[in-house]
Chains A and B, each alone.
Chain A
Amino acid sequence: MTDLINNLSLGFGVAFTVQNLIYAFIGCLLGTLIGVLPGIGPVATIAMLLPATYALPPVAALIMLAGIYYGAQYGGSTTAILVNLPGESSSVVTVIDGYQMARKGRAGPALAAAGIGSFFAGCVGTLILAAFAAPLTEVAFKFGPAEYFSLMILGLIGAVVLASGSLLKAVAMIVLGLLMGLVGTDVNSGVARFSFDIPELTDGIGFITIAMGVFGYGEIISNLSVKEEHREVFTGKVSGLMPTKADFKNMIPAILRGTALGSALGILPGGGALLAAFAAYTIEKKTKLKPGEVPFGQGNIRGVAAPESANNAGSQTSFIPLLTLGIPPNAVMALMVGAMTIHNIQPGPQVMTSNPELFWGLIASMWIGNAMLVILNLPLIGIWIKLLTVPYRWLFPAIVLFCAIGVYSTNNNTFDIWMVGGFGVIGYMFIKLGVEPAPLLLGFILGPMMEENLRRALLLSRGDWSVFVTRPLSAGLLAAALLLLVIVLMPAIKNKREEAFVED
């Protein structure tokens, strides 16, 4: 306990400098600004804004990125509530009741519920993260290459279990991502693999070019293929920001339940936040309605507060596997790994010991970011709504421009611009073929790590594959992965899962 307080005070000491507070503020502001634009999820937002942090010192850059992340997520829920357009998969359930509230002129309370719920969940999540990070890091040092390899398998399986649509296609996307991650110079032999003698490719494919091409351009092209009349935009007035007393009474237990669920599920490798949002909504739906309460699906405030808190608590605790084990549990965290590598930080258990200011500073700044979001967003909701009325025909050329400038600025090389164009075509193809691109990005980040750990594990066991099942920790992780697969493939759950993605 004293350790926890000492660590946190170290962190707050780092984060509470004027300079870092300003970066956290700018990050939140930019993240919300971009994240609120319809059709741009947190992944695309972070990818787009990442180059803006290159020039900063590592701690400041990570603090700003964390701000961007929270801002983008909050901006995403704003769009979900006001425009009926979920910017990311985890706000899919927020849309149901949130948009109905907005249509009834209660957008203000809906946005406030999302904001307050997220803030509370964020505070709890940060505390859990701080408390669990140290003991989990101890465990991480016991991990050998075999355990890491099995953990990555578990993480990847966990990530696809929650992907919508075909499980097999999602796994295939992961493998495709792993293969793409192998392009470039092999660290052990120095052989340039699959580079076709193009010098730029010997460094590997930049993950920003993939993220922006597939998520940015692919989305724009598919948005534009829908005729303008079919894009519904909310133009009604937002009056009365504060929730009523009755709203608070309904909201508070929902926030508490959502936070508890989100914190627990977020630690699991693989899309914890998404699962948490779905589970929280289901639980609220199962509880009995009080007399006079609006039914679910018609604008119940609990249907906004619970999934939003669960989502935020989950996204907070999903930093745990990243910071302690160096394994990104979802596509957003995969981007964070990329960002850390650019700043010469190798995420993993050693960060906490070798770079405690950075580690605890980051955790403290998460809380600051959350607080800033509430301060920033509640008074500024009016401005975000104005932004939503900007016509898409002005918006998308700007997005294309930011993507192009963003990729160019990573290496100051036009080759990256050709690459992002290519990935744009590929991204649109993915949408047409109904395959989800998020697992691809996760596989892409993990590809080299998996190869390295497999190589080391097999080297130590002299080529004996049974090492993965004879070491107890590794066997346990693989068994958990298998169990997840079996559970999802069980007919009863399989139908439920498909239902959840289609119906809601």
Chain B
Amino acid sequence: MKIKSQKDFFSGLMFSGVGAAFAIGATNYTVGNGARMGPGYFPLLLGVLLSIMGVAIMFKALTVQTPDGDKIGAWAWRPLGYIIAANLLFGVLLGGLPSIKVPAMGMVAGIYGLTIVASLAGDRFNLKEVLVLATILSIGSYLAFIVLLKLQFPVWPTFITG
């Protein structure tokens, strides 16, 4: 048995896996019957439907020939890692992590952190250029979000503003 379309096979696997998880999860709630649907009824129905479709997609991926095997190809780990890390770092700097006592550093620190880490995802990295970009973004965001739209953001670190 050879996988004839890698993309289809793994997407089918994902669909059936997620569908099964939802269906099993739904049995924890009252399912009820058609006339009196409980909270578990619709998710159970959809979960079963999704896993059947996932299996059908996998079956097709194993039987229908594709010209190039529909390879998934290499994962772009570098951009993936840096973009997501930049996003998470922004969250930590902006709001802090009270559970492990990381103080909130505010929006400006967050923008610098995000810009530097996100830029690492690109092909070229020039620290001076990135710092200029971060400064422009900070000023722009301050004017747009804080001054104009009056959003309630912590702008500066909490230990400065108190």
Contacts and interface: CB of A to CB of B under 8 A. Distances in A.
Nearest to A414: B95
A458 B114 CA distance: 50
Given A220-B83, A418-B91, A393 B119 contact: yes
Contacts of A463: 33-36
Interface string A200-232: 000000000000000001001110110110000
B87 A420 contact: yes
B39 A188 contact: yes
A294 interface: no
A397 B35 contact: no
Contacts of B14: 429, 433
A209 to B, nearest CB: 11
Given A52-B149, A227-B123, A176 B8 contact: no
A172 B33 CA distance: 24
A408 B79 contact: no
Contact of B83 (A189, A424, A455): A424
B152 interface: yes
Given A397-B114, A417-B91, A220 B79 contact: yes
A434 B133 contact: no
Contacts of B62: none
B53 A225 contact: no
B7 A433 contact: yes
A401 B18 contact: no
Contact of B42 (A429, A451, A462): A451
B87 to A, nearest CB: 5
A401 B83 CA distance: 10
A454 B42 contact: yes
B11 A435 contact: yes
Nearest to B111: A401
Contact of A400 (B43, B72, B118): B118
B69 interface: no
A108 B76 CA distance: 37
B87 A464 contact: no
B84 interface: yes
B94 interface: yes
Given A193-B29, A401-B141, A417 B88 contact: yes
Contacts, number: 197
A174 to B, nearest CB: 10
Most buried by B among A168, A175, A176, A434: A175
Contact of B11 (A169, A175, A458): A169
A179 B50 contact: yes
B39 A225 contact: no
A397 B137 contact: yes
B145 A409 contact: yes
Nearest to A464: B34
B57 interface: yes
A433 B151 contact: no
A55 B150 contact: yes
B157 to A, nearest CB: 15
A387 interface: no
Interface in A392-428: 392-394, 396-398, 400-401, 403-405, 408-409, 412-414, 417-418, 420-421, 424-425, 428
Interface in A438-483: 450-451, 454-455, 458-459, 461-465
B30 interface: yes
Contact of A418 (B8, B42, B83, B88): B88
Given A401-B141, A454-B37, A228 B15 contact: no
B121 A414 contact: no
B98 to A, nearest CB: 10
A218 to B, nearest CB: 10
Nearest to B118: A397
Contact of B76 (A194, A224, A393, A454): A224
A247 interface: no
A402 to B, nearest CB: 8
Contacts of B152: 412
Most A-side CB within 10 Å, residue of B118, B124, B133? B118
Interface of B: 7-8, 10-11, 14-15, 18-19, 22, 25-26, 29-30, 33-43, 46-47, 49-50, 53-54, 56-57, 60, 70, 72-73, 75-76, 78-80, 83-84, 86-88, 90-92, 94-95, 107, 110-111, 114-115, 118-119, 121-124, 129-130, 133-134, 137, 141, 145, 149-153
17 contacts: A166-B57, A169-B11, A176-B19, A179-B19, A221-B76, A400-B86, A400-B114, A401-B114, A404-B87, A409-B151, A413-B95, A414-B91, A418-B91, A421-B91, A429-B14, A455-B42, A465-B34
In the complex, the 7 A-B pairs of residues with the closest C-beta atoms, listed nearest first: A225-B76, A463-B35, A463-B34, A417-B91, A414-B95, A224-B79, A433-B11
